[in-house]
Amino acid sequence: MHSSRRQLISSEAELKAIENHLPALSEEIESLGQPLAEAEERYAVLSTTVDQTKARYDNAASLRSTALSTVDSTGYGIIVVNGPWASTSPVGPGTMGIVALAVVLAEVVSVLGVLFADYMRSSSRRAAIQPPTSSVAQ
């Protein structure tokens, strides 16, 4: 009887200790449940985004393969409508072009000659106006 009574008292103390820990454990479970629910929600959103992106990728890959097959099946060719044109007269400047070029060159040479003659006259005048100076190195 004493042993059964001791077991009863021991079980009662153990039950009270567990009952005292029960509210703390309930709060801890509830606090852990909130981040878990948020993580599950983020996973669902991410999973949906992945599925949509994969569908867009598959669509783009399909369009690319269709475009490549279209390019491969299209034949390109060049058709010559008329043959090349061959000149029967020599190619080059005509008599009028040569005469015009000669006139332009003659005018350029004459202008340069006049400028050179003026330069020579002005340099000889300057030499005549200035007396020679003798400079001695010191």
pTM for the predicted model, two decimal places:
0.35
Which pLDDT belongs to residue 84? Answer: 77
What tokens appear for 84 in the block? 């090349």
Q: Can you list the residues of the chain whose pLDDT is less than 70? A: 1, 131-138
SS3 category, 111: helix
pLDDT digits (tens, 9 = 90+) for 58-67: 889 888 888 8
Report how far apart, in Å, the C-alpha atoms of 89 and of each of 21, 92, 93, 94 are.
115, 9, 12, 11
Which pLDDT belongs to residue 136? Answer: 55
pLDDT digits (tens, 9 = 90+) for 108-122: 999 999 999 999 988
What tokens appear for 126 in the block? 């300057």
